[in-house]
Amino acid sequence: MLIRPIDYFLVVWFALAAASTAYVAWDQYRNNPEPAVMKWGFILVTLYMGPLGVLLYVLADKEPSPGEHETFIQALWKQGVGSTIHCVAGDATGIILAAAITATLGLPMWIDLIVEYATGFAFGLFIFQSLFMKSMMGGTYWQNVRRSFLPEFISMNFMMAGMAPTMTFLMMGRDMRAMEPTELLFWGVMSLGVIVGFSTAYPSNVWMVKNGLKHGLMTERKFGTRFDVRHEHQAGGHPEGGHGMKSGATPAQLAAVAGVSLFALAVGMIAPANWVNLRLSARDVGGAIMPPGMTMDRDIPAEAMIDMAAVNPRDVTNDFGLDVRGNRELAPHMDAGVKVFDLDTAVIRWTILRGVTVDAYAFNGQIPGPRLHFRQGDRIRINVRNHLPENTTVHWHGLILPNIMDGPAHITQEPIPRDGGLYRYEFTAVQSGTYLYHSHDHIDRQQALGLYGAMIIDPAAPDPSLEADHEYDVLLQEWLLREGLTFPAMPMDGAQPNYFTINGRAYPATDRIPIKVGETLKVRFIGSSNGFIHPMHIHGGPFQVVAIDGNTLPSTSRYQADTVNVAPGQRYDVIWTARQPGKWLIHCHIAHHTTNNNVETNGGGGLMVVIDVT
């Protein structure tokens, strides 16, 4: 599933790479007179470098017309290309194979890099250089290994000096799908790594070809083949003595170049550890996409990344539009005198505003979760089934109940396993008033992604002083929506919210509350928000605060106010009287919280609801 713009680019890139490779392979075998090892070199490099491989091939190596290959390839820059192709084809193949295997094994990034270097070097030296080049170089296999060691070492070092930091920074960057070989992005990073590695290895290859330390491009016209355009004595390879590898480089020059190559390698492998945490592995964080602007340094633990990561759009099981509301009252079924509620968690796509959706964690496919409404004295059972991609629990905020039913993960219970785990919460409601339930496992992530709902408990004996003509619940939440992905909003760098909802909607998609002049409206403010305090204000005159955190205030303690600071976890029950006709607002008084992505639409956004008084 393609979830980011880069994914579409990569599909195009790899389609081009496939077409490029097919063209080079076809043209090499059909039209180009050179040894098989170079044909394979160009084919592999084009697979990794896509259209750039074709570019190098036609500019430096493809015979312009029959019989011209020998002269066409003579320029030193072309010989350098040939030599680098040769190195990159072998080394990169080893590196890519090693990267795919180490990622699958879940090894930390720093071990990855070392294994990749060793494998790339071994592949290049023992297979591509010494084995495939044997007929070019003459001599025995082990003579070739000895002769190729230093040139291969220099070229490999410079290549890895470019490829290693490219891989490190991109794999451990914001989109860590790049660490997973099952993701297109992993292969995209490998391709870019090869391109950068080619560029950093190229200058040393030019120097080595010039000084007879490495082969560049070659022509091979086997007698009797279609490439046999010359006279017989000019055709064929070089049966003895290879290409006359006489080095013009002095030992001092060689030592200096090799030394610098080693230094470049060390910098490329080690320096990135200043910025990214190389102790992490694909298994720790692979696949996580981090919010833009998040501080990612070398100390940041995998757990922090997982908690702040985007909801994976591939986990979404259902998609809801503006026609579906949250906070819908859930009817219990009775089981031997117990009121039984069923709550199911899942990942859904939820519309908070026309054209704006979030990927959310939800109870029963709604944000907020269903309204659990029962009576003081009721025996309650709540079956929580977990279909999230992670463990969860539920806490019944403010209730007096047995400790084992309280919900904190690893403290009073083992978390409910992902992919279908079940936990039965059962208790008797001894209190009454406005309460909430919410996740108590990785709350910072799960509650911020939507795992919360209202619990309304009617008093055993009705209290007319708490009643009003109308009731409205206000469940608050913040969202972080960037680049089409939903991240849990937190008061943390890069995780600050940009959308705000009341009952799962941002103004102007929030409800309108119709009432008549002289009628009363009971608003239950519920601090279901995860990390932000909202000073909630009602226009059109003061309200009376009648209950705080579910506790009814005695009549002497009730007070008039027009703003209450609703902190996470708090509840305020207030009764407001419609004194004048018109449109009266309920809104948060942090002005930024009444915008959508910092845009004001139709007079506001976010935490705003209109009371329509007629």
Residue 189's DSSP bridge partners are none
Closest CA to 497 of 569, 598, 603: 598
What is the DSSP annotation of 286-321? TT-BPPTT----TT--HHHHHHHSPP-GGG--EEE-
Looking at residues 523 to 562 of the shown chain, list those that interact with Cu ion (rule: CB under 5 A). Answer: 534
Closest approach of Cu ion to the CB of residue 314, in Å: 32
Shortest reach from residue 592's CB to Cu ion, in Å: 8
Rounded CA gap, 356 and 103, in Å?
Answer: 36
Question: In the complex with Cu ion, which residue's Cβ is closer, 123 or 479?
Answer: 479
Q: How far is the CB of 523 from Cu ion (least distance, A)?
A: 15
Q: How far is the CB of 609 from Cu ion (least distance, A)?
A: 13
Q: How far is CA 418 from the centre of its chain?
A: 20
Nearer to Cu ion, 276 or 608 (CB): 608
**What's the closest the beta carbon of residue 490 comes to Cu ion, in angstroms?**
15
Q: Pick from 86, 215, 349, 593 the residue near Cu ion by CB under 5 A.
A: 593
CA Rg, the chain, in Å?
34
Residue 58 DSSP SS3: helix
**φ, ψ (nearest 5 deg) of residue 365:** 65, 35
Specify the residue, 145 or 590, whose C-beta has the smaller distance to Cu ion. 590
Please, what sign has the CA dihedral across residues 367, 368, 373, 377?
positive
- CA angle 9–14–15, rounded 5-degree value: 95
Phi-psi region of 539 (alpha: psi -120 to 50; beta: other; left: phi over 0): beta
- Using rule CB under 5 A, residue 43 touches Cu ion: no
Which DSSP category does 599 fall into? B
Residue 176: name the closest of 269, 306, 363 by CA.
306
Pairing between strand 571-577 and 520-526?
antiparallel
Min dist CB 591 to Cu ion, Å, is 9
* Residue (139 or 569) nearer to Cu ion, CB: 569
Q: Which run of H or of E encompasses 382? A: strand 379-386
Using the minimum distance from each CB to Cu ion, give the nearer residue, 269 or 586: 586
Binder to Cu ion among 6, 590, 601, 612 (CB under 5 A)? 590
Window of 97-105, 315-323, 367-375, 590-598 that interacts with Cu ion by CB under 5 A: 590-598
CB 157 within 8 A of CB 265: yes
Q: Considering CB under 5 A, how many residues would be counted as binding Cu ion?
A: 4
**Shortest Å, Cβ 487 to Cu ion:** 19
Which amino acid, residue 409? A
Residue number, 12 or 591, with CB nearest to Cu ion = 591
Nearer residue to Cu ion within complex by CB, 84 or 477: 477
What DSSP element (H or E) covers 206?
Answer: helix 184-210
Minimum CB–partner distance for residue 543 and Cu ion (Å) = 17
Query: Which CB sits closer to Cu ion, 317 or 598?
Result: 598
Nearer to Cu ion, 524 or 534 (CB): 534
Nearer to Cu ion, 440 or 505 (CB): 505
CB of 400 to Cu ion, least distance (A): 30
CB of 401 to Cu ion, least distance (A): 30
For 603, residues 6+ apart whose C-beta sits below 8 A from its C-beta are none
What is the SS3 assignment for 511-563?
CEEEECCCCEEEEEEECCCCCCCEEEEECCCCEEEEEECCEECCHHHCEEECE
Cβ–Cβ < 8 Å for 136, 243: yes
122 or 590: CB nearest Cu ion: 590
- Between 162 and 605, CB nearer to Cu ion: 605
Choices 106-114, 129-137, 223-231, 591-599 (CB under 5 A): range interacting with Cu ion: 591-599
118: its two tokens? 């060793």
Out of 509, 588, 609, 611, which residue is the one contacting Cu ion (CB under 5 A)? 588
Judged by beta carbon, residue 269 or residue 588, the one nearer Cu ion is: 588
- Residue 384 CB, shortest distance to Cu ion, in Å, is 29
Q: Could you give the string, one character per residue 48-87, with x where binding to Cu ion holds by CB under 5 A and - elsewhere?
A: ----------------------------------------
| Shortest distance in whole angstroms from residue 601 CB to Cu ion | 17
> Least distance (Å) from Cu ion to the CB of residue 566?
8
Rounded Cα–Cα distance for residues 106 and 90 (Å): 25
Structure tokens, 492: 């943390």
Which one of the spans 175-183, 217-225, 510-518, 580-588 is the region binding Cu ion (CB under 5 A)?
A: 580-588
Q: Which two tokens stand for residue 52?
A: 């750039």
Handedness of CA 169, 171, 172, 177 (dihedral sign): positive
Considering only the stretches 40-48, 219-227, 328-336, 586-594, report the one whose residues sit in contact with Cu ion under the rule CB under 5 A. 586-594
Sign of CA dihedral 246, 248, 252, 255: negative
How would you list the strands of the sheet with 563-566, edge to edge? 512-515, 608-613, 582-588, 534-538, 563-566
Within residues 241-270, the interface with Cu ion by CB under 5 A covers none
Nearer to Cu ion, 88 or 588 (CB): 588
Task: Output the smallest distance, CB 475 to Cu ion, in A.
Answer: 13
Residue 425's φ and ψ, nearest 5 degrees, are -100, 135
Positions that interact with Cu ion (CB under 5 A): 534, 588, 590, 593
